[in-house]
A and B are shown apart, each in its own frame.
Chain A
Amino acid sequence: MSSIAATAGEDFVADSRTRRRHWFERGVHAVLLVFAGISIVTTVGIVFILLLESLQFFGEVSVWEFLTGTKWSPKASPGHFGILPLFCGTFLVAAGSAVIAVPLGLGTAICLSEYASPTVRGIVKPMLEILAGIPSVVFGYLAIVFVSPWIRSLFESAELFNAANASVVVGIMILPMIISLSEDALRSVPRSLREGAYALGGTKLDVSVGVVVPAALSGIVASFLLAIARAIGETMAVSLAAGKRPQMTLNPLDTIQTMTAYIVETSQGDTPRGTLSYQTIFAVGLALFLATFTLNIIAQSILKRMREEYE
């Protein structure tokens, strides 16, 4: 009798313990689910907040005027709200930085993947990691204190703040990104392709430029797109170096203003909520978000396809 009761008691204890564990597991699951949901909520939140304030803005200013107007002077009265000058500034800086970073980055990536010895790689890669970790405000400082005087000594017509300053430092900033992503793409090209090309009598140049680079092309293009998206969204360096004058120009020696620099200038002035210039921050932010998000999605889908190709 007593032994039966004892077993039953043990059963009961074990049972309640299992049950407790069961509920605990469920609780953990729920908490983790909530955490994972936060990323979705963030995306929705970004879109919602940007749209909410932008819609109020577009109640006052027509979308057509916003997208096609060639004058941006939101603080003047009557104000002009054409985003094209800001677009133009952003384009100028992004294109300039790409001109610097794309050839340098691709050359360095080919060197690291095809030419450099393990020792050289061991030295260069950590240095590039350091470069990647330098905050953007530091590059803004470098642009003002060192790059600007240098450019003005080369070109007399250059203004104190100009697009070329920003292009140079943003180009250096996005270099590590291009190098590491392109190098990954180059290294993921199967060895058999290289050996086949050598067997056919190709020189090292034929192999790396004629075989390896084309095979890794999708990854390389994706790295360019991601880097350009980064350049478009780059803020502190650009707002320090490029100036505060939105204008339609393609001359890199002129003072310009980018979308990001406008947001910085306006939010620094402690703009009260509900005013039209408060809403311009969100409208410009929406344009910026859409531009970078599109580039990112294209790059991610290219990368995904490349991974499937080689796996």
Chain B
Amino acid sequence: MSLVAEKPSRPFAKFASRAFSVLCYLCMSLSISALIVLLWQVVQYGWEWLSWDFLTNFSSRFPQKAGIKAALVGSLYLVGMTALLSVPIGVGTAIYLEEYAPKSRWRTIVQLNIANLAGVPSIVYGILGLGLFVQAMHFGRGILAGAATLTLVILPIIILTSQEALRAVPSTIREASYALGATRWQTVWLQLLPAALPSMLTGIILALSRALGEAAPLVAIGAATYVRFTPEGIFDKFTALPLQIFHWTGDAKEDFHHIAAAGIIILLAVLITMNAIAVVLRSRLNKKIRW
């Protein structure tokens, strides 16, 4: 009986391992290049159609004259209104669940329910908005109905990210505050919210950029696609960037595909701006926190 170790019985083990790592890297580069190739093609398609007139004209049956003003302004109003509705409710719910609610079965149910609501397709919220806001509450098909519907869509996201932000604040801060005789709300308002603000804001801005890109709920509540004015009140008809893009993309005329691409560039530019603001705010506010 020899004491020398036998040769490994798997001659291809090393080769297989190498091959697998190559395969994995291949998967990763494919995923990334899909993004790059597709975006590059959009930019190529729409770049020449971007102009100042495109930003300041209303939509038109003629692609050369068509602009995106109504959709751009409509989207900004819509997202602003959605923020007004969703941020207080979302952050409030998160504070309640994290800081107030006793650990009971009821709280577990609510928590699970919110996680599930985050996975409900946005078109289902659209149907809910149609039945509830448009038909039952008579909001009409204006900005208020749109914003209320989008609020339902992004509320679970805001709640979940705000909860995470609150959970990340060390419990020593809470205990110190209570030890000094602060009430619950004083602790929340003066200690927890300022500390959780940077990551909370990031979550909120991400949720709002989701609202900016949503078209399905707006289609379901019957928002207009052809609008030649900017909205002035909360019950006014409106159109939004993703809706306008949807409308142009569905058009059979080739030229409309070019202005749809130009519209997509504008939409992505607004989204990137919002995300950049989130990054800057986060790093600014994070510097102020020391514990």
Is residue A14 within 8 Å, beta carbon to beta carbon, of the partner chain?
no
Q: Provide a sorted-by-A list of 5 A–B residue pairs whose CB atoms are within 8 angstroms.
A: A108-B27, A135-B214, A263-B126, A295-B119, A296-B115
B268 & A39 in contact (Cβ 8 Å cutoff): no
B124 & A42 in contact (Cβ 8 Å cutoff): no
- The dominant DSSP class at the A interface is helix
B9-17, B48-56, B170-178, B280-288: which one contacts chain A? Answer: B9-17
B92 & A141 in contact (Cβ 8 Å cutoff): no
Tell me which residues across on chain A come within 8 A of B131, comparing CB atoms: 49-50, 52-53, 282
Is residue B63 within 8 Å, beta carbon to beta carbon, of the partner chain?
no
B25 & A146 in contact (Cβ 8 Å cutoff): no
State which of B30, B89, B132 has its C-beta within 8 Å of the C-beta of A45. Answer: B132
Tell me which residues across on chain A come within 8 A of B210, comparing CB atoms: 133
Tell me which residues across on chain B come within 8 A of A235, comparing CB atoms: 121-123, 215-216, 219
Tell me which residues across on chain A come within 8 A of B8, comparing CB atoms: 201
B28 & A116 in contact (Cβ 8 Å cutoff): yes
B16 & A137 in contact (Cβ 8 Å cutoff): no
> Hey, what's the 0/1 contact readout for A170-204 against B, CB within 8 Å counting as 1?
00100100010000000000000000000001011
> Which of B133-166 touch A at CB < 8 Å?
135, 152, 155-156, 159
State which of B89, B214, B249 has its C-beta within 8 Å of the C-beta of A240. Answer: B249
Is residue B179 within 8 Å, beta carbon to beta carbon, of the partner chain?
no
Tell me which residues across on chain A come within 8 A of B268, comparing CB atoms: 134, 138
Tell me which residues across on chain B come within 8 A of A67, comparing CB atoms: none
- The dominant DSSP class at the B interface is helix
Is residue A88 within 8 Å, beta carbon to beta carbon, of the partner chain?
no
B257 & A145 in contact (Cβ 8 Å cutoff): yes
Closest residue on chain B to residue A110 by CB atoms: B24
B24 & A108 in contact (Cβ 8 Å cutoff): yes
> Which of A226-240 touch B at CB < 8 Å?
226, 229-230, 232-236, 240
Cα A172 to Cα B39 with chains together (Å): 12
A39 & B93 in contact (Cβ 8 Å cutoff): yes
Is residue A105 within 8 Å, beta carbon to beta carbon, of the partner chain?
yes
B215 & A179 in contact (Cβ 8 Å cutoff): no
Known A36-B97, A115-B24, A270-B222: A172·B121 in contact at CB below 8 Å: no
State which of A32, A49, A106, A230 has its C-beta within 8 Å of the C-beta of B93. Answer: A32
Known A32-B92, A49-B128, A111-B28: A127·B117 in contact at CB below 8 Å: no
Interface size class of B (residues with CB under 8 A): 35 or more
How close is B94's CB to chain A, nearest CB, in angstroms?
9
Cα A108 to Cα B219 with chains together (Å): 35
Give chain A's interface residues, CB within 8 Å of chain B.
21, 24-25, 28-29, 31-33, 35-36, 38-40, 42-43, 45-46, 49-50, 52-53, 103-108, 110-112, 114-116, 124, 127-128, 130-131, 133-138, 140-142, 144-146, 172, 175, 179, 201, 203-206, 208-209, 226, 229-230, 232-236, 240, 260, 263-264, 267-268, 270, 273, 281-282, 285, 288-289, 292-293, 295-297, 299-300
B34 & A172 in contact (Cβ 8 Å cutoff): yes
Closest residue on chain A to residue B21 by CB atoms: A115
Known A137-B215, A172-B34, A296-B119: A236·B246 in contact at CB below 8 Å: yes
Cα A65 to Cα B227 with chains together (Å): 40
5 further contact pairs, Cβ within 8 A, besides A138-B42, A140-B249, A296-B115: A36-B93, A46-B128, A116-B28, A235-B219, A285-B123
Cα A35 to Cα B271 with chains together (Å): 28
Tell me which residues across on chain A come within 8 A of B242, comparing CB atoms: 135, 137, 236
> Hey, what's the 0/1 contact readout for B94-116 against A, CB within 8 Å counting as 1?
01110011000000001011111
Is residue B277 within 8 Å, beta carbon to beta carbon, of the partner chain?
no
A288 & B185 in contact (Cβ 8 Å cutoff): no
How close is A89's CB to chain B, nearest CB, in angstroms?
15
Tell me which residues across on chain A come within 8 A of B21, comparing CB atoms: 111, 115, 204-205
Closest residue on chain B to residue A231 by CB atoms: B121
Tell me which residues across on chain B come within 8 A of A270, comparing CB atoms: 222
Tell me which residues across on chain B come within 8 A of A264, comparing CB atoms: 123, 216, 219-220
Closest residue on chain A to residue B32 by CB atoms: A127
B88 & A107 in contact (Cβ 8 Å cutoff): no
Closest residue on chain A to residue B245 by CB atoms: A137
B155 & A42 in contact (Cβ 8 Å cutoff): yes
How close is B278's CB to chain A, nearest CB, in angstroms?
11
Cα A179 to Cα B249 with chains together (Å): 29
Is residue B127 within 8 Å, beta carbon to beta carbon, of the partner chain?
yes
How close is A279's CB to chain B, nearest CB, in angstroms?
11
Known A32-B96, A179-B31, A293-B116: A233·B260 in contact at CB below 8 Å: no
Cα A206 to Cα B246 with chains together (Å): 47
Closest residue on chain B to residue A44 by CB atoms: B113
Most chain B beta carbons < 10 A, residue from A106, A137, A142, A235: A137
B219 & A268 in contact (Cβ 8 Å cutoff): yes
Is residue B3 within 8 Å, beta carbon to beta carbon, of the partner chain?
no
